[in-house]
Amino acid sequence: MSASNKDNIPKKLIKTPLKNGFYYNRRPNNKVDFSNLQTFPKSFSPHDNFLWIKEFVFYKNGIRVCVFHDVAINLEKTIIMIGKFEVEPKYLLELKRRNGGRDSLVALANEVKKTIDSVNQIQFKITLKPWTYSSTIIDNTLVRAETKRDSFKYTLLLAEKKRDLLNKINANGVFLDKDNNSDSFIVSAKWLKKDW
């Protein structure tokens, strides 16, 4: 028997390593290395003076938990800004888990603390825009907005959930406000390193 012949290894002994941590959404085998981010071309970045990550996913024991969108780090590597994060529908509806958002944010803070010691705060500026004839998940239940009024109501509820989550992780200056120029809601906060 050849030791190098993989066909001689019983299949039940071959284990696929479970993903844990943060991986690029469009390159799911590539882990995000927060300590070695590259600057993006100006045309791809809304902020010229930031390192920008469009999307990445937090995995826990091989399960997709949460997707982060529009995450930026200033060039001095002292502030991380998060534009959007959302727990995966399957995690909420099929697995019936309720702490995906909190677990993902805590894991992100721990990863940042480990890889970029100079970061002293994580800032949130999350815009939630109402969409009629769309579905969303509230309290592990799928709801559909059939009218503009429904959409406005569900968007406000989602914004309140984000606000409550940021309060639970001890973020500072948590603020929920309606955008003056649209029906969108904005949730903002600063999460200082001493509270991670």
Task: Report d(CA 134, CA 152) in Å as an integer.
Answer: 11
Average pLDDT, the chain: 85
pTM: 0.83
* pLDDT, tens digit (0-9, with 9 covering 90-100), for 8-36: 444 554 555 789 999 998 888 889 988 87
Task: Report d(CA 46, CA 36) in Å as an integer.
Answer: 20
Query: Does the pLDDT of residue 4 top 50, yes or no?
Result: no
* pLDDT, tens digit (0-9, with 9 covering 90-100), for 65-119: 999 998 988 888 899 999 999 999 999 888 888 899 999 999 999 999 999 999 9
Residue 191: per-residue pLDDT: 98
